[in-house]
Protein backbone atom coordinates (compact mmCIF):
# COMPACT_ATOMS: atom_id res chain seq x y z
CA UNK A 1 0.00 0.00 0.00
CA UNK A 2 1.51 3.32 -1.13
CA UNK A 3 0.79 6.08 1.37
CA UNK A 4 1.59 9.77 0.86
CA UNK A 5 3.04 10.32 4.34
CA UNK A 6 5.39 8.42 6.64
CA UNK A 7 3.46 9.67 9.67
CA UNK A 8 0.29 8.23 8.22
CA UNK A 9 2.04 5.01 7.32
CA UNK A 10 3.44 4.61 10.86
CA UNK A 11 -0.03 5.05 12.36
CA UNK A 12 -1.55 2.57 9.90
CA UNK A 13 1.16 0.02 10.75
CA UNK A 14 0.41 0.37 14.47
CA UNK A 15 -3.32 -0.22 14.00
CA UNK A 16 -2.62 -3.13 11.67
CA UNK A 17 -0.83 -4.88 14.56
CA UNK A 18 -4.18 -5.30 16.33
CA UNK A 19 -5.86 -8.72 16.01
CA UNK A 20 -8.27 -8.95 13.12
CA UNK A 21 -7.25 -5.58 11.66
CA UNK A 22 -5.81 -5.58 8.14
CA UNK A 23 -4.05 -2.67 6.43
CA UNK A 24 -7.23 -1.41 4.74
CA UNK A 25 -9.23 -1.30 7.97
CA UNK A 26 -6.26 0.30 9.73
CA UNK A 27 -6.17 3.03 7.09
CA UNK A 28 -9.90 3.67 7.51
CA UNK A 29 -9.43 4.06 11.28
CA UNK A 30 -6.47 6.38 10.92
CA UNK A 31 -8.29 8.56 8.36
CA UNK A 32 -11.25 8.68 10.74
CA UNK A 33 -8.98 9.91 13.55
CA UNK A 34 -7.58 12.55 11.20
CA UNK A 35 -11.08 13.98 10.85
CA UNK A 36 -11.46 14.35 14.64
CA UNK A 37 -10.16 17.41 16.41
CA UNK A 38 -6.70 17.11 17.97
CA UNK A 39 -7.97 17.10 21.59
CA UNK A 40 -10.17 14.11 21.02
CA UNK A 41 -7.33 12.15 19.45
CA UNK A 42 -5.07 13.11 22.39
CA UNK A 43 -7.70 11.78 24.78
CA UNK A 44 -7.99 8.58 22.74
CA UNK A 45 -4.28 7.86 22.83
CA UNK A 46 -3.88 8.95 26.45
CA UNK A 47 -6.76 6.65 27.54
CA UNK A 48 -5.00 3.70 25.95
CA UNK A 49 -1.57 4.63 27.28
CA UNK A 50 -3.01 5.14 30.79
CA UNK A 51 -4.81 1.78 30.64
CA UNK A 52 -1.57 0.04 29.72
CA UNK A 53 0.49 1.96 32.27
CA UNK A 54 -1.79 1.72 35.29
CA UNK A 55 -3.73 -1.51 34.93
CA UNK A 56 -2.86 -4.20 37.43
CA UNK A 57 -3.32 -7.90 37.74
CA UNK A 58 -4.95 -9.15 40.92
CA UNK A 59 -2.26 -10.62 43.15
CA UNK A 60 -4.56 -13.42 44.18
CA UNK A 61 -6.37 -14.51 41.02
CA UNK A 62 -4.56 -12.68 38.14
CA UNK A 63 -7.76 -11.08 36.92
CA UNK A 64 -7.43 -7.53 35.58
CA UNK A 65 -7.83 -4.99 38.32
CA UNK A 66 -7.49 -1.32 39.24
CA UNK A 67 -5.93 -2.24 42.58
CA UNK A 68 -3.74 -5.01 44.04
CA UNK A 69 -6.77 -7.20 44.75
CA UNK A 70 -9.60 -7.32 42.19
CA UNK A 71 -13.23 -6.46 42.92
CA UNK A 72 -14.27 -10.15 42.81
CA UNK A 73 -11.63 -11.25 45.36
CA UNK A 74 -12.45 -8.26 47.58
CA UNK A 75 -16.18 -9.01 47.57
CA UNK A 76 -17.06 -10.85 50.80
CA UNK A 77 -20.52 -11.68 49.43
CA UNK A 78 -18.90 -14.08 46.97
CA UNK A 79 -17.91 -17.61 47.94
CA UNK A 80 -14.20 -17.10 48.50
CA UNK A 81 -13.72 -20.83 49.12
CA UNK A 82 -14.77 -21.66 45.55
CA UNK A 83 -12.32 -21.17 42.66
CA UNK A 84 -13.19 -21.35 38.98
CA UNK A 85 -10.02 -22.00 36.99
CA UNK A 86 -10.00 -20.31 33.56
CA UNK A 87 -7.54 -19.81 30.75
CA UNK A 88 -7.75 -16.04 30.29
CA UNK A 89 -9.49 -12.84 31.27
CA UNK A 90 -12.02 -13.11 28.43
CA UNK A 91 -13.30 -16.29 30.10
CA UNK A 92 -13.81 -14.42 33.39
CA UNK A 93 -15.81 -11.78 31.52
CA UNK A 94 -17.86 -14.47 29.74
CA UNK A 95 -18.71 -16.34 32.96
CA UNK A 96 -19.44 -13.11 34.84
CA UNK A 97 -21.88 -12.15 32.07
CA UNK A 98 -23.98 -15.24 32.87
CA UNK A 99 -24.51 -13.91 36.45
CA UNK A 100 -24.69 -17.55 37.55
CA UNK A 101 -21.39 -17.91 39.38
CA UNK A 102 -20.80 -16.50 42.82
CA UNK A 103 -17.32 -17.78 43.60
CA UNK A 104 -13.86 -16.50 42.68
CA UNK A 105 -11.51 -17.17 39.77
CA UNK A 106 -7.94 -18.11 39.02
CA UNK A 107 -6.65 -16.99 35.61
CA UNK A 108 -3.98 -19.39 34.35
CA UNK A 109 -2.83 -17.15 31.49
CA UNK A 110 -3.06 -20.02 28.98
CA UNK A 111 -3.08 -23.80 28.93
CA UNK A 112 -0.30 -26.36 28.78
CA UNK A 113 0.67 -26.78 25.13
CA UNK A 114 4.09 -28.39 24.56
CA UNK A 115 3.84 -27.84 20.78
CA UNK A 116 3.64 -24.09 21.37
CA UNK A 117 6.37 -24.27 23.99
CA UNK A 118 3.98 -23.53 26.87
CA UNK A 119 4.73 -25.58 29.96
CA UNK A 120 3.28 -25.39 33.48
CA UNK A 121 6.00 -22.97 34.61
CA UNK A 122 4.82 -20.28 32.21
CA UNK A 123 1.31 -20.40 33.65
CA UNK A 124 -0.16 -19.34 37.01
CA UNK A 125 -0.31 -22.93 38.21
CA UNK A 126 2.13 -22.90 41.15
CA UNK A 127 0.25 -19.92 42.60
CA UNK A 128 -3.03 -21.82 42.20
CA UNK A 129 -1.73 -24.91 44.00
CA UNK A 130 -0.29 -22.70 46.75
CA UNK A 131 -3.56 -20.77 47.00
CA UNK A 132 -5.69 -23.92 47.35
CA UNK A 133 -3.50 -25.19 50.19
CA UNK A 134 -3.26 -21.83 51.92
CA UNK A 135 -6.92 -20.81 51.66
CA UNK A 136 -8.29 -24.29 52.35
CA UNK A 137 -10.40 -24.04 49.20
CA UNK A 138 -13.56 -26.17 49.25
CA UNK A 139 -14.14 -26.53 45.51
CA UNK A 140 -12.19 -26.10 42.29
CA UNK A 141 -14.17 -25.83 39.05
CA UNK A 142 -12.22 -26.23 35.85
CA UNK A 143 -13.74 -24.10 33.07
CA UNK A 144 -11.18 -24.78 30.34
CA UNK A 145 -11.73 -25.29 26.62
CA UNK A 146 -12.64 -28.89 25.79
CA UNK A 147 -9.53 -29.87 23.84
CA UNK A 148 -6.30 -31.81 24.40
CA UNK A 149 -4.49 -28.79 25.86
CA UNK A 150 -7.36 -28.09 28.26
CA UNK A 151 -7.53 -31.73 29.35
CA UNK A 152 -3.74 -31.93 29.79
CA UNK A 153 -3.87 -28.85 32.01
CA UNK A 154 -6.70 -30.27 34.13
CA UNK A 155 -4.83 -33.56 34.51
CA UNK A 156 -1.61 -31.81 35.51
CA UNK A 157 -3.24 -29.56 38.12
CA UNK A 158 -5.41 -32.36 39.45
CA UNK A 159 -2.27 -34.43 40.15
CA UNK A 160 -0.74 -31.50 42.02
CA UNK A 161 -3.74 -30.97 44.29
CA UNK A 162 -4.99 -34.51 44.80
CA UNK A 163 -3.58 -34.61 48.34
CA UNK A 164 -5.68 -31.58 49.30
CA UNK A 165 -9.20 -32.05 50.63
CA UNK A 166 -11.07 -30.00 48.01
CA UNK A 167 -13.77 -31.10 45.59
CA UNK A 168 -12.62 -30.91 41.98
CA UNK A 169 -15.20 -30.52 39.24
CA UNK A 170 -15.25 -29.47 35.59
CA UNK A 171 -17.91 -27.65 33.62
CA UNK A 172 -20.23 -29.96 31.67
CA UNK A 173 -19.36 -30.71 28.09
CA UNK A 174 -22.00 -31.65 25.62
CA UNK A 175 -24.48 -30.58 23.02
CA UNK A 176 -24.84 -26.80 22.76
CA UNK A 177 -28.22 -25.43 23.76
CA UNK A 178 -30.30 -25.00 20.61
CA UNK A 179 -28.00 -27.43 18.75
CA UNK A 180 -29.21 -30.38 16.74
CA UNK A 181 -28.26 -33.80 18.03
CA UNK A 182 -27.61 -35.36 14.62
CA UNK A 183 -25.03 -32.67 13.77
CA UNK A 184 -23.00 -33.08 16.94
CA UNK A 185 -19.61 -34.72 16.43
CA UNK A 186 -19.08 -38.20 17.90
CA UNK A 187 -16.80 -36.98 20.71
CA UNK A 188 -19.30 -34.39 21.90
CA UNK A 189 -22.18 -36.83 21.72
CA UNK A 190 -20.18 -39.53 23.54
CA UNK A 191 -19.27 -37.08 26.31
CA UNK A 192 -22.86 -35.95 26.60
CA UNK A 193 -23.96 -39.55 27.07
CA UNK A 194 -21.24 -40.19 29.64
CA UNK A 195 -21.98 -36.97 31.57
CA UNK A 196 -25.75 -37.31 31.58
CA UNK A 197 -27.73 -35.50 34.27
CA UNK A 198 -30.75 -36.52 36.34
CA UNK A 199 -33.71 -34.79 34.67
CA UNK A 200 -34.71 -33.03 37.89
CA UNK A 201 -31.32 -31.34 38.01
CA UNK A 202 -31.50 -30.50 34.31
CA UNK A 203 -34.90 -28.86 34.57
CA UNK A 204 -33.75 -26.76 37.53
CA UNK A 205 -30.74 -25.28 35.73
ZN1 LIG B 1 -8.77 -11.38 42.18
CATH number of the domain to which 84 belongs: 3.40.1360.10
The mean per-residue pLDDT over the stretch 60-87 comes to 96
Does 41 map to a domain? yes
Residue 84 shares a structural domain with residue 47: no
**CATH number where 35 lies:** 1.10.8.420
Residue 47 shares a structural domain with residue 78: no
Q: How far is the CA of 1 from the centre of ligand 1 (A)?
A: 45
Residue 48 shares a structural domain with residue 86: no
pLDDT confidence of residue 204: 65
Residue 83 shares a structural domain with residue 165: yes
Q: How far is the CA of 107 from the centre of ligand 1 (A)?
A: 9
Q: Is residue 187 pLDDT above 90, yes or no?
A: no
Q: How far is the CA of 141 from the centre of ligand 1 (A)?
A: 16
Domain span at 27: 6-54
Q: Within 89-196, where are the H helices?
A: 89-98, 126-135, 148-161, 186-194
The mean per-residue pLDDT over the stretch 118-124 comes to 96
Residue 96 shares a structural domain with residue 29: no
Q: How far is the CA of 104 from the centre of ligand 1 (A)?
A: 7
Residue 158 shares a structural domain with residue 90: yes
Q: How far is the CA of 57 from the centre of ligand 1 (A)?
A: 8
Residue 160 shares a structural domain with residue 118: yes
Q: How far is the CA of 17 from the centre of ligand 1 (A)?
A: 29
- Tens-place pLDDT, residues 29-39: 999 999 999 99
Q: How far is the CA of 75 from the centre of ligand 1 (A)?
A: 9
Q: How far is the CA of 52 from the centre of ligand 1 (A)?
A: 18
d(CA 198, CA 142): 21
Does 108 map to a domain? yes
Does 22 map to a domain? yes
Q: How far is the CA of 110 from the centre of ligand 1 (A)?
A: 17
Does 136 map to a domain? yes
What is the overall mean pLDDT for the chain? 93
Residue 108 shares a structural domain with residue 159: yes
Q: How far is the CA of 101 from the centre of ligand 1 (A)?
A: 14
Counting the structural domains of the chain, the total is 2
Quote the longest CA-to-CA distance of the chain: 67
Residue 89 shares a structural domain with residue 22: no
Burial state string for 102-123 with b = 16 or more CB within 10 A and e = fewer than 16: ebbbbbbbebbbeeeebebeeb
d(CA 14, CA 26): 8
pLDDT confidence of residue 196: 84
Residue 83 shares a structural domain with residue 153: yes
Q: How far is the CA of 103 from the centre of ligand 1 (A)?
A: 11
Q: Is residue 202 pLDDT above 90, yes or no?
A: no
Amino acid sequence: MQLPSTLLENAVNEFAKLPGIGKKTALRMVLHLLKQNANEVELFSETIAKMRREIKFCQRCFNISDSDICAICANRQRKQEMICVVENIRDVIAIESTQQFNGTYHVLGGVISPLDGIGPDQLNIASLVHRIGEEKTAEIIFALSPNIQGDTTIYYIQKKIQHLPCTVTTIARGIAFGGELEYADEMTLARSMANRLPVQQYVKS
